Amino acid sequence: MEVFLERLAWPEVEAAIGGGMRTAVVCAASSEQHGPHLPEATDALLGEAYAEGLARRLGDALVAPVIRPGCSEHHMAFAGSMTISPALLMDILDAYLDSLRRHGFEAFVVFSSHGGNFPVLAEWERTRRPQGTVVISDIHVFDAAFDAIRRFGREDRAGPHAEVLETSMMLHVHPELVHMERAEPGFTGEMELDDLLHKGMRAISRNGIIGNPVGADAEMGAAVLDALVESLYRQVRP
């Protein structure tokens, strides 16, 4: 069954809700640079993949349109990146859930595929307390990806941003958009998310990459994607 809300006609949506599909999965993504080898839509495209996998695991869920742009001020030194304010993202989330409730959705799962949105989700959860909503606002939910690549002999802990994890997943879901001939290591040292948000990506990485995408492949990407979806699912159904 199709799980993407915007790919269905309204009678199909109405029938799905009437048949018990009353959970909506909402991913806040971004439109921003991902190094010289990945498209600016990377977070949105991967967010769709996470959301689809989660909705299919839940069994009673449809996927709302992925939100983009996101809070990406720290990427604005790179051409093409777009950003919105934290307040606007929170307002968009409110409007999403209000619209979906009016059609009969009763439960919501909200998460981010972009690191810069996580502090905003945490603040939205704390201050607006959305009823009937599971908000996944801890970026460590994505730590499962690092565990998944160990069996491929990789121990990368830098990032993730346009490195082996995201590049491998993109090779799995959208290989036609990946330019591996341009892939190169970025900043591979220790870094906290707060440092990146305050200093900006250009101050930390000249090419916009945190980590090393060299050696990425589709098989690894399939394993990482599965691990991340399972991690999200455990947050919803422990």
Distance of CA 11 to the CA centre of its chain: 29
User: What is residue 77's predicted lDDT score, i.e. its pLDDT?
Assistant: 98
Residues 155-198: pLDDT tens digits?
Answer: 877 778 999 999 999 999 999 999 999 999 999 988 888 889 99
pLDDT class of 6 with cuts at 50, 70, 90:
very high
Residues 82-133: pLDDT tens digits?
Answer: 999 999 999 999 999 999 999 999 999 999 999 999 999 999 999 998 889 9
Average of per-residue pLDDT values in the chain: 96
Cβ atoms within 10 Å of 63's Cβ, excluding its own: 25
Asked if omega into 69 is within 30° of 0 (cis), the reply is yes
CATH number at residue 36: 3.40.50.10310
User: What is residue 217's predicted lDDT score, i.e. its pLDDT?
Assistant: 96
CB contact at 8 A, 81 and 32: yes
Q: Which domain holds residue 37?
A: 5-236
User: What is residue 238's predicted lDDT score, i.e. its pLDDT?
Assistant: 85
Distance of CA 9 to the CA centre of its chain: 25
CB contact at 8 A, 20 and 60: yes
CB contact at 8 A, 45 and 170: yes
Distance of CA 147 to the CA centre of its chain: 18
Residues 177-186: pLDDT tens digits?
Answer: 999 999 999 9
Count of structural domains within the chain: 1
- Measuring CA to CA, how many Å separate 196 from each of 92, 115, 160? 24, 10, 12
User: What is residue 155's predicted lDDT score, i.e. its pLDDT?
Assistant: 80
Give the pTM.
0.96
CB contact at 8 A, 142 and 169: no
